[in-house]
Amino acid sequence: MDSGGVWRYRFAILSWTIAWVSMFALEEKLDLANLAMLMVLASALSAIWLPGWASVVISAIAVSAFNWSFVPPKLEFSVDLYQNALLLIALLLVNWIIAGLMIRQRSLAEAAHALASSEARLRQWGDTLRDANDPIEHASALRAVLKETTGAEVVVLVMRSYDVRSCDATSLQVGEPNNEQESGLSLCLKEGYALGASSGRYEHLPDVYLPLRGRCVTLGAALLIGFRHHPDRKQLMPHLQALCDQMGGALQRSFIAAKEHQAREQAQLQATRNALLAAISHDYRTPLATIMGAASSLYQQGDRLSVNQRQRLARGIVEEGERLARLTENTLQLARLDAPSVSLRCDWESAEEIVGAILRRVRNRGNGARVTAWVEPNLPLFWCDAILVSQLLDNLLDNGLKYSPDDAPVELHASLESDNLLLTVSDRGPGIAPAWREKVFEVFQRGDSLKSDSRREIDRGAGVGLAVCRAIARAHHGELSLRSRREGGCLFECRLPIRGHGQQVPDTNVPEARK
């Protein structure tokens, strides 16, 4: 018995004691009816604190004792006056009525309390679920809530996704059911209604299965082991089902949110892809048009063209072919670097070698002779993918050559800047307006809303070349940016960490050749 119970009994005993002491003390001064009022008072007080059966019994005993002690003839149970008998009967009935009213009032209060606590539980559970990022994580919390409410052992099964409806790897199970219980859970999940005692289906089962229902779908099931024997199971069932359905609703909401997120990402990806394809196909069209024109002219008018004309057309085809090859290379590289797990083929490389190789490659092209290069002496080796860095420099030089006058130099510098290798490519072209300095690195920045006077800048930025450059720099944990030069033209600055992503610098003590 808890301490509250003890106090109830103490209060009851105290009120009876005071009543009896007062009755004996006041016996000479008061008549019988007034003494009886003290009895009624004590009985009513004790009925507040005592259980109903105790009040009834105690009232009966008290009325008998009153008869014995105060009603003449005293010290025996017989009653000599009819009016005294009526008094005693009325006394007993009033005491019992009071006790009955008390019992009823108390059970109403208890029911109200139970209702309030189950409401509070529902509300709290609702809050928990609403704040949950992933309601699946709360399967064990549902289990705890059900366990606390019913005292029964609980197993919870929840789906991990919306579409799959079987108890396999896509579902999560908390608790350990036996085979029969497992198939009960599956059935409950599949059919979406409660099974077992008090459910109207499979009433003979010792356990109860409750579905976790969302809108038009069941997303899990809860098993209450041995719930058949719970005294309040009928009253509890709707409450338990409400708890389960809250979980089902939360699961459904989170699945829908996840699907929506996925769909939005997909749409965004598609939009990006479309923009990329549009940009790329635009870039391909120009060289293809030149090639088509020249080749069809050679094919159809070849015999009427002079040797010089034929040579010129053929050279155009070769040059545009090279441009297409570079474009293809850039597009492929961009797609590759865009992949989540891009792997670089890094090694300790020499900036001097990469610059030398790229210089040779660029100079072999039509207008590449005006490229000059300077490499700071004694640069340390740096950790990079040589082919990618070559491609980066190739694109920057190509860009510089394309957008500067035919007699202006394009310069490539390599130097050390604290822990970075600084590669710069500068030209003496018209430069790029500040508003476009970031946008030139974006493949799909071929705006429709642009004024015609900024056409040149747009053409300059459009395409994959510079986007690939930046992707390459970033794949090396470096950065590529664009500045304008005081003397006019563009200055591209690429900073690449010498040690890549925390590589150990190689030992420069190289052994001699073995011979």
Partner 1 sequence: MSRKVLLVEDDRVLRDSLREALSIEGYELKTAASLADARAQLEHLALGQSIDLVVLDLGLPDGDGQALLSQLRHTSSTPVIVISARDAEGQKIQLLDQGADDYLVKPFGIGELLARMRVALRHRGHSAERALLVYRHGPLEADLRARKVLLSKVEVHLTPTEYALLARLVRQAGQVVTHRQLLTDVWGAEHVDQTHYLRLYMGQLRAKLEVDTADPQHLLTEPGVGYRLAESDTTD
Contact status: 332 vs partner 1 (CB under 8 A): yes
Closest approach, Cβ 427 to partner 1, in A, equals 18
Interface with partner 1, residue 284, by CB under 8 A = no
Position 299 contacts partner 1 (CB under 8 A): no
Does residue 381 touch partner 1 according to CB under 8 A?
Answer: yes
459 is a site residue for partner 1 (CB under 8 A): no
Q: What one-character DSSP code corresponds to residue 72?
A: S
**Nearest CA-CA partner of 337 in 482, 504, 477, 499:** 477
Choice from 309, 350, 367, 481 touching partner 1 (CB under 8 A): 350
Is residue 515 a contact point for partner 1 (CB under 8 A)? yes
- For position 356 contacting partner 1 by CB under 8 A, the verdict is yes
305 binds partner 1 (CB under 8 A): no
| Residues 185 and 177: beta-carbon distance below 8 Å | yes
Alpha-carbon distance 201 to 221, whole Å? 15
Please, what is the minimum distance in Å from the beta carbon of residue 329 to partner 1? 6
Contact between 449 and partner 1 per CB under 8 A:
no
Which of residues 1 and 510 has its CB atom nearest to partner 1 in the complex? 510
Residues paired with 479 in a beta bridge: 495
Number of residues that make up the chain = 515
1 interacts with partner 1 by CB under 8 A: no
Q: Does 136 bind partner 1 (CB under 8 A)?
A: no
- Point out which span in 38-46, 59-67, 110-118, 503-511 binds partner 1 (CB under 8 A): 503-511
Write 323-329 long-range contacts (CB < 8 A, 24+): 323/287, 324/284, 324/287, 324/288, 324/291, 326/394, 326/395, 326/398, 327/280, 327/283, 327/284, 327/287, 327/463, 327/464, 329/391
Nearer to partner 1, 350 or 454 (CB): 350
Shortest Cβ 512–partner 1 spacing (Å):
5
Residue selected from 347, 438, 442, 493 as contacting partner 1 according to rule CB under 8 A: 347
Nearer Cβ to partner 1 (35/475): 475
**Number of chain positions touching partner 1 (CB under 8 A):** 37
β-bridge mates for residue 214, sequence order: 217
Task: Kindly report whether the peptide bond that precedes residue 511 is cis, defined as omega within 30 degrees of 0.
Answer: no
Q: Please state, in angstroms and rounded to a whole number, the distance separating the CA atoms of residues 482 and 439.
A: 10
DSSP states of 452-503: GGGHHHHHHH-SSHHHHHHHHHHHTT-EEEEEE-TTSSEEEEEEEETTTTTP
Of 390, 395, 399, 445, the one binding partner 1 (CB under 8 A) is 390
Among 201, 259, 282, 360, contact with partner 1 (rule: CB under 8 A): 360
Q: At what angle do helices 82-131 and 233-301 cross, to 10 degrees?
A: 10
Residue 354 as a binder of partner 1 (CB under 8 A): the answer is yes
Provide CB contacts within 8 A for 66, sequence distance 6+: 23, 35, 36, 39, 88, 91
Is 416 an interacting residue with respect to partner 1 (CB under 8 A)?
no
The rounded distance, in Å, linking the Cα atoms of 373 and 358 is: 10
Q: Residue 420 gets which letter from DSSP?
A: E
Note whether 69 binds partner 1 by CB under 8 A: no
User: From the CB of 349, what's the least distance to partner 1, in Å?
Assistant: 7
User: Closer to partner 1 at the Cβ: 128 or 415?
Assistant: 415
421 forms part of the interface with partner 1 (CB under 8 A): no
Is 339 among the residues that bind partner 1 (CB under 8 A)?
no
Q: Does 78 bind partner 1 (CB under 8 A)?
A: no
Tell whether residue 312 is a contact of partner 1 (CB under 8 A). Answer: no
Q: In whole angstroms, what separates CA 277 from the centre of its chain?
A: 32
Give CA–CA dist 6/153, Å, rounded: 32
Binding status of residue 506 toward partner 1 by CB under 8 A: yes
Pick the closer one to partner 1 by CB: 194 or 389.
389
Interface with partner 1 (CB under 8 A):
318, 321-322, 325, 329, 332, 345, 347-350, 352-357, 359-360, 373-375, 381, 385-387, 389-390, 414, 506, 508, 510-515
